[in-house]
Homo-oligomer: A and B are copies of this chain.
Amino acid sequence: MSPTSSSSPAKRERRKEARPGELLEAALDLFVEKGFAATRVDEVAARAGVSKGTLFLYFPSKEELFKAVVRENIAGRFIEWNSEVETFEGSTAELLHYCYRVWWERVGSTKASGITKLMLSEAQNFPEITQFYQQEVILPGQQLIRRILQRGIDRGEFRAVPLDYAIYVVLAPMMFLMMWKHSLGACAQGALDIDPDRYLATQADVIAYGLATRPGSTGLSA
Protein backbone atom coordinates (compact mmCIF):
# COMPACT_ATOMS: atom_id res chain seq x y z
CA MET A 1 0.00 0.00 0.00
CA SER A 2 1.80 3.08 -1.21
CA PRO A 3 1.51 6.19 0.89
CA THR A 4 0.28 8.18 -2.08
CA SER A 5 -2.71 5.97 -2.57
CA SER A 6 -3.98 6.73 0.90
CA SER A 7 -4.21 10.43 0.21
CA SER A 8 -7.36 12.39 0.89
CA PRO A 9 -9.33 9.99 3.00
CA ALA A 10 -11.49 12.91 3.89
CA LYS A 11 -12.73 13.22 0.36
CA ARG A 12 -13.71 9.60 0.26
CA GLU A 13 -15.41 9.86 3.62
CA ARG A 14 -17.28 12.89 2.52
CA ARG A 15 -18.41 11.27 -0.64
CA LYS A 16 -19.62 8.28 1.28
CA GLU A 17 -21.81 10.45 3.41
CA ALA A 18 -22.94 12.37 0.41
CA ARG A 19 -24.16 9.26 -1.41
CA PRO A 20 -27.84 9.46 -0.46
CA GLY A 21 -27.92 13.12 -1.32
CA GLU A 22 -26.37 12.55 -4.70
CA LEU A 23 -28.82 9.80 -5.39
CA LEU A 24 -31.76 11.95 -4.38
CA GLU A 25 -30.56 14.74 -6.58
CA ALA A 26 -30.13 12.46 -9.56
CA ALA A 27 -33.50 10.87 -8.90
CA LEU A 28 -35.22 14.22 -8.63
CA ASP A 29 -33.85 15.28 -11.99
CA LEU A 30 -34.90 12.11 -13.70
CA PHE A 31 -38.27 11.71 -12.04
CA VAL A 32 -39.18 15.25 -12.96
CA GLU A 33 -37.95 14.87 -16.50
CA LYS A 34 -39.42 11.48 -17.34
CA GLY A 35 -41.90 10.60 -14.65
CA PHE A 36 -41.71 7.81 -12.12
CA ALA A 37 -42.28 4.83 -14.38
CA ALA A 38 -40.08 5.96 -17.23
CA THR A 39 -37.12 6.57 -14.93
CA ARG A 40 -34.76 3.59 -14.63
CA VAL A 41 -32.97 3.00 -11.39
CA ASP A 42 -29.82 2.18 -13.34
CA GLU A 43 -29.95 5.64 -14.76
CA VAL A 44 -30.37 7.23 -11.38
CA ALA A 45 -27.44 5.25 -10.03
CA ALA A 46 -25.33 6.04 -13.05
CA ARG A 47 -26.02 9.74 -12.79
CA ALA A 48 -25.12 9.63 -9.12
CA GLY A 49 -21.93 7.83 -10.04
CA VAL A 50 -22.66 4.64 -8.15
CA SER A 51 -23.78 1.16 -9.03
CA LYS A 52 -27.33 -0.02 -9.04
CA GLY A 53 -26.65 -2.18 -6.02
CA THR A 54 -25.55 0.82 -4.03
CA LEU A 55 -28.78 2.59 -4.66
CA PHE A 56 -30.67 -0.25 -3.03
CA LEU A 57 -28.31 -0.02 -0.12
CA TYR A 58 -29.76 3.36 0.70
CA PHE A 59 -33.30 3.01 -0.54
CA PRO A 60 -35.15 -0.26 -0.21
CA SER A 61 -37.15 0.22 -3.38
CA LYS A 62 -37.82 2.55 -6.24
CA GLU A 63 -41.01 3.66 -4.55
CA GLU A 64 -39.19 4.50 -1.36
CA LEU A 65 -36.67 6.42 -3.41
CA PHE A 66 -39.52 8.38 -4.90
CA LYS A 67 -40.99 9.13 -1.50
CA ALA A 68 -37.62 10.17 -0.19
CA VAL A 69 -37.17 12.50 -3.13
CA VAL A 70 -40.47 14.15 -2.41
CA ARG A 71 -39.92 14.35 1.35
CA GLU A 72 -36.42 15.68 0.94
CA ASN A 73 -37.53 18.47 -1.33
CA ILE A 74 -40.43 19.64 0.72
CA ALA A 75 -38.47 21.60 3.21
CA GLY A 76 -40.68 23.36 5.71
CA ARG A 77 -39.92 26.78 4.44
CA PHE A 78 -43.26 28.06 5.55
CA ILE A 79 -42.28 29.02 9.06
CA GLU A 80 -39.67 31.35 7.70
CA TRP A 81 -42.08 32.76 5.16
CA ASN A 82 -44.84 33.16 7.67
CA SER A 83 -42.67 35.42 9.76
CA GLU A 84 -41.61 37.37 6.70
CA VAL A 85 -45.24 38.00 5.93
CA GLU A 86 -45.93 39.01 9.53
CA THR A 87 -43.20 41.57 9.54
CA PHE A 88 -43.57 42.85 6.02
CA GLU A 89 -44.01 46.58 5.82
CA GLY A 90 -45.69 48.04 2.85
CA SER A 91 -48.94 47.55 0.99
CA THR A 92 -50.36 44.09 0.56
CA ALA A 93 -50.14 44.54 -3.19
CA GLU A 94 -46.44 45.04 -2.70
CA LEU A 95 -46.37 42.01 -0.45
CA LEU A 96 -47.95 39.94 -3.15
CA HIS A 97 -45.39 41.06 -5.69
CA TYR A 98 -42.67 40.41 -3.18
CA CYS A 99 -43.93 36.92 -2.38
CA TYR A 100 -44.16 35.95 -6.02
CA ARG A 101 -40.64 37.19 -6.57
CA VAL A 102 -39.24 35.47 -3.51
CA TRP A 103 -41.10 32.29 -4.29
CA TRP A 104 -39.62 32.22 -7.74
CA GLU A 105 -36.14 32.73 -6.41
CA ARG A 106 -36.36 30.15 -3.67
CA VAL A 107 -38.68 27.56 -5.18
CA GLY A 108 -40.02 28.17 -8.64
CA SER A 109 -36.68 28.55 -10.33
CA THR A 110 -35.06 25.70 -8.40
CA LYS A 111 -35.33 22.01 -8.81
CA ALA A 112 -37.85 22.02 -5.97
CA SER A 113 -40.42 23.17 -8.50
CA GLY A 114 -40.00 19.84 -10.16
CA ILE A 115 -41.54 18.22 -7.13
CA THR A 116 -44.83 19.90 -7.83
CA LYS A 117 -44.76 18.64 -11.34
CA LEU A 118 -43.99 15.16 -10.03
CA MET A 119 -46.71 15.24 -7.43
CA LEU A 120 -49.40 16.42 -9.78
CA SER A 121 -48.31 13.91 -12.39
CA GLU A 122 -48.02 10.93 -10.11
CA ALA A 123 -50.51 11.75 -7.37
CA GLN A 124 -52.91 9.00 -8.39
CA ASN A 125 -50.24 6.34 -8.23
CA PHE A 126 -48.93 7.39 -4.82
CA PRO A 127 -51.84 8.16 -2.53
CA GLU A 128 -49.71 7.86 0.59
CA ILE A 129 -47.09 10.35 -0.49
CA THR A 130 -49.77 12.56 -1.97
CA GLN A 131 -51.40 12.74 1.44
CA PHE A 132 -48.07 13.71 2.92
CA TYR A 133 -47.59 16.38 0.28
CA GLN A 134 -50.96 17.88 1.00
CA GLN A 135 -50.22 18.15 4.70
CA GLU A 136 -46.72 19.48 4.32
CA VAL A 137 -47.03 21.73 1.31
CA ILE A 138 -50.48 22.43 0.07
CA LEU A 139 -52.18 23.21 3.35
CA PRO A 140 -49.37 25.39 4.78
CA GLY A 141 -49.15 27.12 1.44
CA GLN A 142 -52.82 27.82 1.41
CA GLN A 143 -52.58 29.12 4.98
CA LEU A 144 -49.81 31.47 3.99
CA ILE A 145 -51.77 32.82 1.06
CA ARG A 146 -54.85 33.13 3.20
CA ARG A 147 -52.87 35.18 5.71
CA ILE A 148 -51.68 37.51 3.01
CA LEU A 149 -55.16 38.03 1.68
CA GLN A 150 -56.53 38.49 5.16
CA ARG A 151 -53.88 41.13 5.76
CA GLY A 152 -55.07 42.99 2.69
CA ILE A 153 -58.65 42.81 3.78
CA ASP A 154 -57.84 43.76 7.34
CA ARG A 155 -55.95 46.78 6.17
CA GLY A 156 -58.80 47.82 3.88
CA GLU A 157 -56.69 47.29 0.78
CA PHE A 158 -58.48 44.27 -0.56
CA ARG A 159 -62.08 43.55 -1.08
CA ALA A 160 -63.65 41.03 1.25
CA VAL A 161 -63.51 38.22 -1.27
CA PRO A 162 -64.34 34.68 -0.15
CA LEU A 163 -60.93 33.49 1.01
CA ASP A 164 -61.52 29.79 0.38
CA TYR A 165 -61.55 30.46 -3.32
CA ALA A 166 -59.47 33.59 -3.49
CA ILE A 167 -56.43 31.62 -2.37
CA TYR A 168 -56.56 29.76 -5.66
CA VAL A 169 -56.39 33.06 -7.50
CA VAL A 170 -52.95 33.44 -5.99
CA LEU A 171 -51.99 29.77 -6.07
CA ALA A 172 -53.01 28.86 -9.63
CA PRO A 173 -50.44 31.08 -11.37
CA MET A 174 -47.63 29.55 -9.35
CA MET A 175 -48.71 25.97 -9.90
CA PHE A 176 -49.29 26.63 -13.57
CA LEU A 177 -45.85 28.10 -14.01
CA MET A 178 -44.17 25.11 -12.39
CA MET A 179 -46.09 22.60 -14.47
CA TRP A 180 -45.51 24.55 -17.64
CA LYS A 181 -41.82 24.92 -17.00
CA HIS A 182 -41.41 21.19 -16.59
CA SER A 183 -43.62 20.03 -19.40
CA LEU A 184 -44.55 21.98 -22.49
CA GLY A 185 -42.18 24.78 -21.57
CA ALA A 186 -39.27 22.36 -21.69
CA CYS A 187 -40.07 21.58 -25.31
CA ALA A 188 -40.64 25.26 -25.98
CA GLN A 189 -40.56 26.42 -29.56
CA GLY A 190 -40.45 30.13 -28.94
CA ALA A 191 -44.18 30.68 -28.84
CA LEU A 192 -44.49 28.77 -25.61
CA ASP A 193 -41.55 30.24 -23.83
CA ILE A 194 -42.47 32.14 -20.73
CA ASP A 195 -40.31 34.71 -19.02
CA PRO A 196 -41.03 34.07 -15.34
CA ASP A 197 -40.44 37.59 -14.14
CA ARG A 198 -42.78 39.22 -16.60
CA TYR A 199 -45.25 36.40 -16.11
CA LEU A 200 -45.33 36.76 -12.34
CA ALA A 201 -45.32 40.54 -12.48
CA THR A 202 -48.32 40.52 -14.78
CA GLN A 203 -50.16 38.00 -12.66
CA ALA A 204 -49.43 39.91 -9.43
CA ASP A 205 -50.43 43.14 -11.05
CA VAL A 206 -53.78 41.90 -12.27
CA ILE A 207 -54.53 39.98 -9.12
CA ALA A 208 -53.64 42.80 -6.76
CA TYR A 209 -55.57 45.21 -8.88
CA GLY A 210 -58.46 42.81 -9.10
CA LEU A 211 -58.59 42.37 -5.37
CA ALA A 212 -58.11 45.97 -4.56
CA THR A 213 -60.75 48.15 -3.04
CA ARG A 214 -61.46 51.19 -5.14
CA PRO A 215 -61.11 54.76 -4.06
CA GLY A 216 -64.33 55.60 -2.38
CA SER A 217 -65.14 51.98 -1.98
CA THR A 218 -65.83 50.62 1.44
CA GLY A 219 -63.57 47.67 0.89
CA LEU A 220 -66.48 45.44 1.68
CA SER A 221 -67.74 44.39 -1.73
CA ALA A 222 -69.25 40.92 -2.43
Q: A166 to B202, Cβ gap below 8 A?
A: yes
The complex places the Cα of A47 from the Cα of B129 at a distance, in Å, of 28
Query: Could you say how many copies of this chain the assembly holds?
Result: 4
Interface centre among A37, A180, A208, A210, by most chain B C-beta atoms within 10 angstroms, is A210
Is A3 at the interface (CB under 8 A from chain B)?
A: no
Is A203 at the interface (CB under 8 A from chain B)?
A: yes
Is A72 at the interface (CB under 8 A from chain B)?
A: no
- A interface, over-half SS: helix
A: interface residue count bin: 35 or more
Q: A184 to B130, Cβ gap below 8 A?
A: yes
Is A5 at the interface (CB under 8 A from chain B)?
A: no
Q: B184 to A121, Cβ gap below 8 A?
A: no
Q: B176 to A171, Cβ gap below 8 A?
A: yes
The complex places the Cα of A203 from the Cα of B138 at a distance, in Å, of 19
- Nearest B-chain residue to A182, judged by Cβ: B124
Known: A166-B202, A208-B210. A183 touches B134 (CB 8 A): no
Which residues on A are within 8 Å of B, measured CB to CB? 33-38, 117, 119-125, 127, 130-131, 133-134, 138-139, 142, 161-162, 165-166, 168-169, 171-173, 175-177, 179-180, 182-184, 186-187, 189, 191-192, 194-195, 198-199, 201-203, 205-211, 214, 222
Q: List 11 A-B contacts (CB under 8 A).
A: A33-B124, A121-B122, A123-B186, A134-B187, A134-B189, A161-B202, A168-B194, A172-B177, A175-B179, A206-B207, A208-B210
